[in-house]
């Protein structure tokens, strides 16, 4: 079968692979909609270390082709929403703690697609622990909205959860790409008061306002720390969904004592944080710094889909470049890599008939 991926760091194209086979708990799926992610391009450029001959893609809505003999909830022909993070639910450490980093043994072990196995830009792909990871596409939820729930919404909302946004809090969101935009929408749902969003792309700025940003700050028009301190003083919560390693010190400079900084940005393995102790209140500030990645599994994604079904959030608005046909995955991936200024998020719809 064919899949779009990386031959090695920096080189991408169509790969030929064996069709995957299902173990007892697995499902084999055919994608009907996929979306390239900034993280796919990041991995392709070596941001997660060396990788060879790996099919990319971790955001999909798909059709079930075949299930293992222990899978109870799904059958061939079902349309399912595929979380980008698919934990091994039989691991005790994970049962105790949650759905992403809770495998004590290995950082981000639940992020299997692309990371440790072939991704969804393929004619067929495999999902482990199908009963605990997949969700039937609910009636009343569009394929596009469901597709945006599995990573963009789950990650952006996790930033909001880690930041512990409370009613009336002032929140700063670094970055208004698709992840930051979902963090803005999530902060509004959690009852934030002022939401200051940082970014410059005009259509992202428009969508940020629509999703709930009360103010926009441009990092291209002067120091963002000075701008935010002048307009608000220090804030309760900062969510970092864009920027660079320097963003952490900027976040510390604008966060109140007892406040929280939540990072979902994916740094390059070569970057480092150098934090002057004064910024962290000589170690006495009680500013919490958290960082995490997209929670997955069926329970999490059902919650995201419930918000969509009940009209609380409209993540399909992120999709502003639409492609039709499996072969167009290449164009969509290159577009994501090149990131023209008007791109928010591309989608590829695939009809196998
Ligand atoms: P994106 O589309 O590239 O958006 C990045 C945003 O950051 C843009 O709004 C950009 O502004 C802004 N930005 C750039 N430089 C900045 C600076 N110096 N200070 C403040 N803002 C700055 O990215 P995305 O697709 O939304 O993804 C955001 C990050 O999340 C990426 O690192 C991605 O790999 C990561 N991610 C993490 C997870 C996870 O599980 N933790 C999941 C998915 C993605 P402009 O408007 O000027 O472009
Ligand atoms: Zn992603």
Label residue 284 by pLDDT band (50, 70, 90). Answer: very high
Distance 114 CA to ligand 2 centre (A): 10
Beta strand pairing call for 171-174 and 195-198: parallel
Q: Which of 41-55, 164-178, 200-214, 321-335 has the lowest mean pLDDT?
A: 41-55
Q: How far apart are CA 255 and CA 150, in angstroms?
A: 29
**Which residue has its alpha carbon closest to ligand 1 atom 4?**
177
Task: Give the Cα-Cα-Cα angle 26, 32, 33 (nearest 5 degrees).
Answer: 110
Assess whether the C-beta atom of 83 lies below 6 angstroms from ligand 1. no
Mark residue 281 as left, alpha or beta (left: phi above 0; alpha: psi -120 to 50; beta: remaining). left
- Beta carbons of 204 and 185 less than 8 angstroms apart: no
**Which residue has its alpha carbon closest to ligand 1 atom 18?**
243
The number of the ligand nearest the C-alpha atom of 294 reads: 1
Q: What percent of the chain has pLDDT over 90?
A: 89
Label residue 105 by pLDDT band (50, 70, 90). Answer: low
Q: Across the chain, what does the average pLDDT equal? A: 95
Burial class (CB in 10 A: 0-12, 13-18, 19+), 60: buried
Q: Is the pLDDT of residue 98 over 70?
A: no
What average pLDDT does range 322-326 have in this prediction? Answer: 98
Residues with CB under 5 A from ligand 2 (ion): 37, 39, 151
pLDDT for position 94: 77
DSSP state, residue 93: H
Q: How far apart are CA 152 and CA 59, in angstroms?
A: 9
Assess whether the C-beta atom of 241 lies below 6 angstroms from ligand 1. yes
227-250 as b/e: b if 16+ CB within 10 A: bbeeeeebbbbbbbbbbeeebbeb
pLDDT for position 275: 94
Q: Which atom of ligand 1 is nearest to the CA of 176?
A: 9
Distance 141 CA to ligand 1 centre (A): 26
Nearest to 317 by CA among 287, 286, 347: 347
- Beta carbons of 295 and 158 less than 8 angstroms apart: yes
The number of the ligand nearest the C-alpha atom of 113 reads: 2
Assess whether the C-beta atom of 177 lies below 6 angstroms from ligand 1. yes
Distance 245 CA to ligand 1 centre (A): 12
What average pLDDT does range 225-238 have in this prediction? Answer: 97
pLDDT for position 167: 98
Q: Which atom of ligand 1 is nearest to the CA of 343?
A: 2
9 vs 110 pLDDT, higher one: 9
How far, CA to CA in Å, does 42 sit from each of 115, 143, 290? 12, 25, 21
What average pLDDT does range 265-291 have in this prediction? Answer: 92
Going through 68-210 in order, the beta strands assigned E by DSSP cover: 79-82, 125-127, 135-136, 171-174, 195-198
pLDDT for position 12: 97
Distance 195 CA to ligand 2 centre (A): 24
The helix/strand/coil state of 32 is: strand
**Which residue has its alpha carbon closest to ligand 1 atom 6?**
175
Test site for ligand 1: of 108, 242, 262, 333, most ligand atoms within 8 A of the Cβ: 242
pLDDT for position 47: 84
pLDDT for position 45: 94
What average pLDDT does range 228-255 have in this prediction? Answer: 97
Distance 264 CA to ligand 1 centre (A): 9
Instruction: Count CB atoms within 10 A of the CB of residue 144.
Output: 20
Q: Is the pLDDT of residue 53 over 80?
A: yes
pLDDT for position 73: 98
Test site for ligand 1: of 48, 241, 300, 332, most ligand atoms within 8 A of the Cβ: 241
**Which residue has its alpha carbon closest to ligand 1 atom 24?**
177
């Amino acid at each position: 079968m064919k899949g779009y991926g990386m031959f090695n760091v920096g080189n991408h194209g169509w790969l030929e692979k064996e069709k995957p086979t299902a173990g007892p708990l697995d499902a084999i799926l055919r994608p009907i909609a996929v979306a390239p992610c900034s993280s796919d391009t990041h991995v392709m450029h070596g941001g997660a270390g060396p990788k060879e001959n790996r099919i990319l893609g971790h955001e999909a809505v798909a059709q079930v082709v075949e299930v293992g003999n222990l899978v109870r909830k799904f059958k061939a022909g079902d349309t399912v929403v595929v979380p980008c993070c698919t934990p091994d639910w039989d691991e005790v450490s994970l049962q105790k703690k949650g759905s992403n980093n809770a495998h004590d043994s290995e950082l981000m072990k639940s992020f299997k697609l692309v990371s440790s196995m072939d991704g969804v830009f393929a004619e067929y792909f495999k999902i482990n622990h199908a009963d605990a990871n997949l969700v039937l596409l609910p009636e009343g939820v569009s394929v596009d909205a469901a597709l945006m729930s599995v990573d963009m919404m789950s990650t952006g909302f996790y930033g909001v959860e880690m930041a512990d946004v409370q009613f009336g809090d002032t929140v700063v969101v670094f970055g208004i790409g698709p992840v930051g935009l979902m963090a803005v929408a999530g902060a509004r749902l959690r009852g934030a008061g002022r939401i200051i969003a940082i970014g410059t792309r005009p259509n992202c700025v428009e969508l940020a306002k629509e999703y709930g940003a009360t103010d926009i700050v441009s990092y291209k028009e002067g120091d963002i720390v000075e701008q935010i301190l002048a307009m608000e003083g220090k804030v309760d919560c900062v969510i970092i969904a864009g920027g660079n390693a320097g963003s952490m010190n900027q976040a510390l400079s604008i966060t109140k004592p007892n406040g929280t900084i939540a990072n979902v940005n994916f740094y390059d393995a070569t970057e480092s944080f150098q934090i002057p102790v004064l910024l962290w209140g000589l170690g006495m500030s009680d500013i919490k710094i958290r960082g995490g990645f997209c929670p997955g599994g069926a329970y999490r994604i059902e919650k995201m889909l419930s918000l969509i079904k009940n009209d609380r959030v409209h993540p399909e608005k992120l999709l502003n470049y639409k492609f039709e046909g499996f072969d167009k995955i290449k164009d969509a991936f290159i577009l994501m890599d090149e990131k023209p200024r008007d791109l928010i998020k591309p989608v590829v719809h695939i009809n196998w008939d």
